[in-house]
Amino acid sequence: MIEEDNVLVPEDGQAIEITPNEEIVDIPETEEIEQSVSPFTEENEYNELREKLAQVMAECRKIVVGQDDIVELMLICLVCEGHILLEGVPGVAKTLVAKTFAKTIDSEFSRIQFTPDLMPSDIIGTSIFNPSDGQFTFKRGPVFSNVILIDEINRSPAKTQSALFEVMEEKQISYDGKTYQMKFPYIVVATQNPVEQEGTYSLPEAQLDRFLMKIIINYPSFENELMILERFKSELGKVDLSEVNAILNVDDLRYLQVKTKEIEVSNDLLHYIVKLVHETRNHPDIYLGASPRASLAILKTVKMAAILRGRSFVIPDDIQYLLPLILGHRIILTPEAEISGKTPYTVINDIVKTVEVPR
């Protein structure tokens, strides 16, 4: 997924024109959150939020070059309590952008490297016998964190992948008759390589549907790759993330959620979302269309997108911008469409062109 001259271009897809990013907006101090009763449109509620979100982008730019759109989408998923699947060939900074983004959040971080011999207990935890009291104690696994990076999620078999179902959807783990709740915020950022298939296990549709967005990371442009070399020409070894500072804390994210709920979505736009999703269930090139979970995902994310652009209301451009990212991994094309060279993104672009845009 790349952005060129204000045009969003999914992988091998046709372009969808989007509006340029407007200024990013602001948040009051923690103690003002519960006391604030002023309307969202008042300018004094934007200043600090604009500064904080701009700082997140600035901190990520210290390490990652040319990935501002990816960081913005990750921020949308974080506030909307959704998960992200990053797909790209090796070496395009999938893991690096996830680790850098996690550093900007004042929370716990864990990384899980998926391998063919990884077991579910390696992820969620297991019971350990304590000989001193003769009792079993549950030792929590790496999923008990706030930001979880799963590297090469398609390297582990279905048995291990399915261990993520409950925690990704319900933010909890059930083990040995007990339920353990995850702390807020909770986001899973998974990566996968679409090229190398040997020794991999494709994610089933039920697992893919747990991800709020699937983001394609392509090769950098010539200018961005030159900037990468200039920035790291005097560096040896691994990239040092110690200079990246935490910007957002739990109170900031909670307040962003409060303001996201206040964003206005007109009835015409609700009908527009439903028409787009319904069209995926009736399109001749689509074997499996999007579910109501996709409709809800669009509704949640477009509100946060409006905040990032300094608006208290959603416009059709917000929906068209996020639609390929939310639907691309949720639809299955017919064999005939795949043979003809079509992709989910080209079909989604066709749907956008056929459905009337509200005025």
What pLDDT is attached to residue 35? 38
**Lookup: tokens for 308:** 């990032």
What pLDDT is attached to residue 157? 87
Q: How far apart are the first and last CA of the chain?
A: 27
Residues in contact with 349: Cβ distance below 8 Å, sequence separation at least 6, in sequence order: 10, 13, 14, 15, 16, 324
What pLDDT is attached to residue 151? 93
Average pLDDT, rounded, for the chain: 85
Q: Looking at residues 76-88, what average pLDDT do you find?
A: 94
pLDDT at 207 over 70: yes
pLDDT at 221 over 90: yes
Dist CA 264 CA 305 (whole Å): 12
What pLDDT is attached to residue 28? 40
Angle at which helix 68-79 crosses helix 292-308, to 10 degrees, equals: 120
Per-position b or e across 47-73, b if 16+ CB within 10 A of its CB: ebbbebbeebbebbbbbbbbbeebbbb
Dist CA 120 CA 118 (whole Å): 7
Q: How confident is the model at residue 15 (pLDDT cuts 50, 70, 90)?
A: very low
What pLDDT is attached to residue 50? 67
Q: How confident is the model at residue 176 (pLDDT cuts 50, 70, 90)?
A: confident
What pLDDT is attached to residue 11? 47
What pLDDT is attached to residue 247? 92
Q: pLDDT tens digits for 229-266?
A: 998 888 777 888 989 999 999 999 999 999 888 899 99
CATH node for 2-231+244-354: 3.40.50.300
What pLDDT is attached to residue 303? 94
Q: Looking at residues 212-223, what average pLDDT do you find?
A: 94
Q: Looking at residues 96-124, what average pLDDT do you find?
A: 92
For residues 82 and 213, is the Cβ–Cβ distance under 8 A?
yes
Dist CA 138 CA 176 (whole Å): 9
Q: Which residue has the higher pLDDT, 192 or 26?
A: 192
Please give the angle made by the CA atoms of 259, 262 and 266, to the nearest 5 degrees: 140
State which amino acid sits at residue 98: A
Q: Looking at residues 22-43, what average pLDDT do you find?
A: 39
Q: Which residue has the higher pLDDT, 48 or 52?
A: 52
pLDDT at 1 over 90: no
Dist CA 225 CA 229 (whole Å): 6
Q: pLDDT tens digits for 291-331?
A: 999 999 999 999 999 888 888 899 999 999 999 999 999 99
Q: How confident is the model at residue 21 (pLDDT cuts 50, 70, 90)?
A: very low
What pLDDT is attached to residue 39? 35
Q: How confident is the model at residue 187 (pLDDT cuts 50, 70, 90)?
A: very high
What pLDDT is attached to residue 314? 93
What pLDDT is attached to residue 344? 94
Please state, for a pLDDT cut of 70, what percent of the chain lies above it: 86
Q: How confident is the model at residue 267 (pLDDT cuts 50, 70, 90)?
A: very high
Dist CA 333 CA 343 (whole Å): 8
Dist CA 17 CA 316 (whole Å): 11
